[in-house]
Amino acid sequence: MKKMIILLTASVWITGCSTAPIYNVEKQTVPVTNKQTVAKAIFAGSAKRGWTVSQVQDGLIIATLEHKGLMAEVKIPYTADSYSIYYNRSKRLSYKEKSKRIHARYNRWIKNLQNSINTCLD
């Protein structure tokens, strides 16, 4: 019984700390042809998910999410017909630079962000 509890605890801990390859969004096409509209959708979609957003330069937005002591920051370059989301930096998300792996929670955040932005573009 004691061995079973130890194995169960270990499996929960390993699953909870799982890492995955970083999910980047590469040139997501959009149903508009206006750069300003794409930027507004990125700002709106990010805000819906709790991301803090700042315009760094024309065509580049930085978005940051802080949640329960964790932090993720992404670069979002955009044009009139597409946008991308790239990992920039993080805290406490088990990022491994060599293997380009990160806590699986990060990928969920990025997929949710992408869905939110896309919803604002429809």
Kindly report the CATH number assigned to the domain that includes residue 103: 3.30.310
**Residue-level pLDDT at 50:** 97
Inside any domain, residue 3: no
Beta bridge partners of 62: 54, 75
**Residue-level pLDDT at 122:** 86
Q: pLDDT (tens digit, 9 = 90+) per residue, 50-66?
A: 999 999 999 999 999 99
Q: Pseudo-torsion of CA 26, 16, 69, 53, nearest 10°?
A: 20
Contact 93, 19 (CB under 8 A): no
The Cα 45–Cα 122 span in angstroms is 11
Mean pLDDT of 104-117: 97
pLDDT at 106 over 60: yes
Residue-number span of the structural domain to which 33 is assigned: 20-121
**Strand locations in 1-122, DSSP E?**
19-21, 25-29, 52-57, 60-67, 70-77, 82-91, 101-103
Inside any domain, residue 10: no
